[in-house]
Structure 1
Amino acid sequence: MDAPRVLLVKLTSLGDVIKALPVIDDIRRALPGTTVDWVVERPVDSLLALHPGIATVIPLELRRYRKEGRYGAALRGVCRDFGLLRARRYDCIVDLQGRRKSAIVAALARGPVIGPAPGPSSEPMYHRFYRRCVGRALYEGRDAISANRILAAQALGYPMPSSPPRFGLRPGSVPPGDLAPARPFAVLVHGSSKPEKTLAEATWIELGNWLSSRGLRCLLPWGDAQERARAQRLADAIGSAARVPQRMPSLTDWVGILAQATVVAGVDSGITHLAAASGAPTVAIFTATSSATFRIEAETPHRNLGDAGRKVALAEIQAAVADLLGSRSEPGVSGEGS
């Protein structure tokens, strides 16, 4: 009998896809010999290509065309991607997203689809594309990583693992020198897709100066023109210890950069979650989203601070960073508190 083949559907966003990565390790340990494919929207496909446990990454390009209003290009792209999606038959297709779009994509593939049962705020009718639904009571109220792991375990019929989540990303190569400073360095993830998640610039400046006094350079990432301008303002205020990438790193570049970072402090964003998945000691700061749901869970040292509607003080961030620095032994870096 051929080894089973499973397709996972988690299309977006970066942070959500990262929080589903531990499912790969769970499946391969619980069901040895299983081949796992994954369908995802670009550009996150490049990140999944770094996971040795994924046999085939099937990229889609739905969001960009929709945003740009290029519906003709979207149709051509769907026809192209549809061929990849239908290229082989699956023993089980697991929709980890539970949205109308993901359910339709799952239904277009060849095989029985299992996904989450609808809840009070779910999009209507999406579950009609499933052969079977996993009851929400099994994972309701759990953090996002655990919810993904429970959903996959229920769909494929193995016990929920008790082991810590393993993300499985392997850096492809050392990042180019124009993207990251010399070690040791910290990454300060100041930007987010939602302004309410961000912190005051003064907080980042004080944190950057504090890290600099402890022998760390500071890398200030950006994702758009507004974030780049803020990153430059922060770097100018922090001084020569701060660095702004002159071009936007790719996701594969980021895995390499974050794997080399001494510590990462960031708001609730994809790059912060990628930091923990890449093995960097990480402080995640929550101000507008639930830390109970979106918190970091990883084998790497980490701290989750704040919660929706609660401000996180600079001293709290410094104490968490100092705690993580104290757990590492790196020449030239002081882990003493403020």
Structure 2
Amino acid sequence: MRRILVIRSGALGDFVLTLPAIRALREAAPRAHVEIVGRTATLEVAHERYYADAIRSIDRADFAPLFAPEGEASPEVVAYLTGFDLILSYLPDRDGLFRRNLERVGVRRLVCGGPIPAPDEVRHIVDRLLEPVEGAGIPVGDRTPRVFLTEEDGRTAEAFLKGRGISEFDPFVVIHPGSGGARKCWPAGRFARVADEVQRTTGARVVVPQGPADEQVVAQMVSEMVVAPVVAGGLPLPVLAGVLARCRAYVGNDSGVTHLSAASGAPVVALFGPTDPRVWGPRGERVRTVQGDAELPEERRLEAIGEEEVIRAVKEIENKPNPPSPFPEGEGGATYCL
């Protein structure tokens, strides 16, 4: 295979969980040109960082006919799609419309995977996303999502930290109180008290990532803290991953940033309530999941997690040894700088 296209929409966590499938393709064809179509802001963490040689937005206007019955794609789009030896698509396509349109324009080889598990399915989503890859006869090795960062990502992350008074040797903990939905968020005030306790007992600084949807919950957490944290707002995802790779520990909800933390090699404490960590939990050598009582109604499970339990989990995860750094073979073109 010389040219491979992966189509993966969805948020940050969805994409991070797809990385083992993309890695299997990369390892099977190390010299191939790999392109990914999705949300470009999310895809930056993979662009020219081992996984993707190029990225494109799923929201391009010229892709729109591919989602319409009997849609007529432009000659340019047809030439683009038929120029790949393999297309792996994870787009939700219950009625098969997108698949039929791709087949109709004459794509060479199309493999489709369902990105959403059945309601009663208890299988990790990474394994589900690997299923179409394995079904296509492509060997699968590492099933843990990992990001591979450039040296520039590391330097920019270090410069950000240094500019906020955190030197190369200063310990810090990252705490992210946000998530894609309010029902998956542990109360901001409890995050604040955990952050204060970590600073009081360990001397480590606290860094709080803030994305566009996190302003309110981060403001609430910061307002209840005794010692102000470093708020890391607006960082590009590769730079945020570089910060996460340096932290002593990370604490967060079921969120994309939590999955990115685990993929960056950080020691992670992930708080789960209404979602099942057996399906959606982050994978990694240093991941600890704290789950609310499954016997409680969904809306009360997170509230059942106590601050002492989270603090204890942070101390336990800090003491786990660093995992070996896996350097990808082949021509990924990235430096694994964790």
> Paired residue for 2:273?
287
Aligned mate of 1:148, from 116, 123, 129: 129
Shift of 1:10: 0.9
Shift of 1:25: 2.3
Shift of 1:49: 0.9
> What does the per-residue CA deviation read over 1:55-82, in whole Å, with 9 as the maximum and x for residues that have no partner?
22222336xxxxxxxxxxxx36859x97
> Paired residue for 1:132?
none
Taking structure 1 as reference, are residues 271 and 166 closer, same or farther at Cα in structure 2, changes over 3 Å only? closer
Q: Which amino acid aligns with 1:218?
A: V
1:212 touches 1:241 (CA, 8 Å); kept in 2?
Answer: no
> Paired residue for 2:109?
112
> Paired residue for 2:252?
266
Q: Which amino acid aligns with 1:224?
A: P
> What does the per-residue CA deviation read over 1:265-297, in whole Å, with 9 as the maximum and x for residues that have no partner?
000111111111112111111112111110111
Taking structure 1 as reference, are residues 89 and 296 closer, same or farther at Cα in structure 2, changes over 3 Å only? same
> What does the per-residue CA deviation read over 1:213-260, in whole Å, with 9 as the maximum and x for residues that have no partner?
2111111222236x3243233224323351223x42222221222122
> Paired residue for 1:72?
none
Provide the secondary structure at the position in 1 that maps to 2:84.
Answer: coil
Paired residues in the alignment total 293
> Paired residue for 1:134?
none
1:186-197 equivalences in 2 (<5 Å): 186-197=173-184
Shift of 1:85: 7.7
TM-score normalised by L of structure 2:
0.74
Provide the secondary structure at the position in 1 that maps to 2:209.
Answer: coil
Aligned mate of 2:144, from 160, 165, 169: 165
Provide the secondary structure at the position in 2 that maps to 1:47.
Answer: coil
Shift of 1:118: 10
Distance in 2, Cα, partners of 1:273 & 1:186:
16
Taking structure 1 as reference, are residues 147 and 121 closer, same or farther at Cα in structure 2, changes over 3 Å only? closer
Shift of 1:103: 6.6
> What does the per-residue CA deviation read over 1:155-184, in whole Å, with 9 as the maximum and x for residues that have no partner?
3x13443x4425242144222437865132
Unaligned runs of at least 5 residues, structure 1: 63-74, 123-136, 330-338
Taking structure 1 as reference, are residues 196 and 180 closer, same or farther at Cα in structure 2, changes over 3 Å only? farther
What is the RMSD computed on CA atoms of the aligned residues?
Answer: 3.4
Taking structure 1 as reference, are residues 320 and 231 closer, same or farther at Cα in structure 2, changes over 3 Å only? same
1:227-238 equivalences in 2 (<5 Å): 227-238=214-225
> Paired residue for 2:320?
327
1:208 touches 1:218 (CA, 8 Å); kept in 2?
Answer: yes
> What does the per-residue CA deviation read over 1:112-145, in whole Å, with 9 as the maximum and x for residues that have no partner?
32213699979xxxxxxxxxxxxxx9xx532111
Distance in 1, Cα, partners of 2:78 & 2:179:
32
Shift of 1:208: 0.5
1:1-338 equivalences in 2 (<5 Å): 3-61=1-59, 75=61, 83=76, 86-87=79-80, 89-99=83-93, 104=98, 107=102, 110-116=107-113, 141-155=122-136, 157-161=137-141, 163-171=142-150, 172-173=152-153, 174-175=156-157, 176-177=159-160, 182=166, 183-213=170-200, 214-224=202-212, 227-245=214-232, 247-299=233-285, 301-306=286-291, 309=298, 310-311=301-302, 312-327=305-320
> Which range moves more in the overlay, 95-104 or 53-62?
95-104
Unaligned runs of at least 5 residues, structure 2: 66-72, 323-338
Distance in 2, Cα, partners of 1:10 & 1:102:
16
1:291 touches 1:305 (CA, 8 Å); kept in 2?
Answer: no
Shift of 1:89: 1.6
Give aligned-pair identity as a percent.
22
TM-score normalised by L of structure 1:
0.74
Taking structure 1 as reference, are residues 302 and 145 closer, same or farther at Cα in structure 2, changes over 3 Å only? same
2:174 touches 2:206 (CA, 8 Å); kept in 1?
Answer: yes
Q: Which amino acid aligns with 1:91?
A: D
Taking structure 1 as reference, are residues 147 and 180 closer, same or farther at Cα in structure 2, changes over 3 Å only? farther
Shift of 1:197: 0.7
Taking structure 1 as reference, are residues 266 and 99 closer, same or farther at Cα in structure 2, changes over 3 Å only? farther
Shift of 1:102: 9.9
Taking structure 1 as reference, are residues 117 and 143 closer, same or farther at Cα in structure 2, changes over 3 Å only? closer
